[in-house]
């Protein structure tokens, strides 16, 4: 919510691993057309009232948005490293990436605790090379106790999606 003001008015939003649609609802209520993707049929059914939900397993199947770009891509509490390039490439020129998930250290306070599900220090910064970083956080949050990384980043308006900024 803190960085949602970065979106252009009416920008289309992709919510990756949307769950029941909490973020889809937030952006739809602010006038954004929203697409959400999740592998849970129950989650997709719940999210249906907030935009266009898509049932897809993005870990086992193909990326369903190949060739598509969005004014904003939102990811919360989800990490599947093989999809990071696809997620970043889906951000349109002038578009925004808002990403938050668990980070190394979380294994000391709860779940998730497997390294496969925890970002390593600076990992989101590396994944977002070519985007302009507006905000980045990596650390401990006390309530509820968790370690997270967060990033708000913008693809420069003159940059091609999926690559470094154009000169």
Percentage of the chain lying above the pLDDT 90 cut: 88
Where does the pLDDT of residue 106 fall: very low under 50, low under 70, confident under 90, or very high at 90 and above?
Answer: confident
Do the beta carbons of residue 72 and residue 98 sit within 8 Å?
A: yes
78, two tokens: 């989800």
Residue with tokens 């999210």: 47
For residue 111, is pLDDT > 50? yes
* Own/partner long-range contacts of 35-39 (Cβ < 8 Å, ≥24 apart): 35/70, 37/64, 37/65
- Domains of the chain, CATH where assigned: 10-154 (3.40.50.150)
pLDDT tens digits, one per residue of 47-100: 999 999 999 999 999 999 999 999 999 999 999 999 999 999 999 999 999 999
d(CA 92, CA 72): 7
End-to-end alpha-carbon separation of the chain, Å?
A: 32
d(CA 144, CA 157): 37
Closest of 86, 70, 1, 10 to residue 36, by C-alpha: 70
Q: What is the pLDDT of residue 167?
A: 29
Q: What is the pLDDT of residues 9-45, one digit of tens each?
A: 999 999 999 999 999 999 999 999 999 999 999 999 9
The answer to whether 66 touches 129, Cβ cutoff 8 Å, is no
- With bands split at pLDDT 50, 70 and 90, how would you rate the model's confidence at 163? very low
Confidence of residue 166 (pLDDT cuts 50, 70, 90): very low
- 115 half-sphere exposure, CB direction, 13 A CA radius: 3
3 close to 134: Cβ distance less than 8 angstroms: yes
Confidence of residue 165 (pLDDT cuts 50, 70, 90): very low
Residue-averaged pLDDT of the chain:
93
Name the β-bridge partners of 151.
99, 136
Would you place residue 162 in the very low, low, confident or very high pLDDT band (cuts 50, 70, 90)?
Answer: low
Omega before 144 cis (within 30°)?
yes
């Amino acid at each position: 919510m803190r960085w949602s003001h970065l979106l252009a008015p009416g920008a289309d939003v992709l919510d990756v691993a949307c769950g029941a649609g909490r973020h889809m609802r937030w952006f739809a209520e602010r006038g954004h057309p929203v697409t959400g993707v999740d592998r849970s049929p129950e989650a997709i059914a719940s999210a249906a009232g907030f935009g266009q939900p898509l049932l897809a397993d993005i870990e086992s199947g193909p990326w369903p948005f190949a060739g598509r770009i969005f004014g904003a891509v939102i990811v919360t509490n989800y990490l599947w490293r093989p999809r990071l390039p696809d997620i970043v490439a889906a951000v349109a020129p002038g578009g925004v990436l808002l990403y938050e998930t668990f980070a190394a250290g979380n294994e000391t306070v709860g779940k998730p605790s497997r390294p496969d599900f925890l970002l390593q220090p600076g990992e989101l910064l590396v994944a977002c090379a070519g985007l302009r970083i507006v905000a980045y956080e990596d650390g401990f949050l006390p309530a509820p106790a968790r370690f997270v990384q967060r990033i708000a980043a913008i693809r420069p308006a003159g940059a091609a999606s999926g690559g470094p900024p154009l000169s």
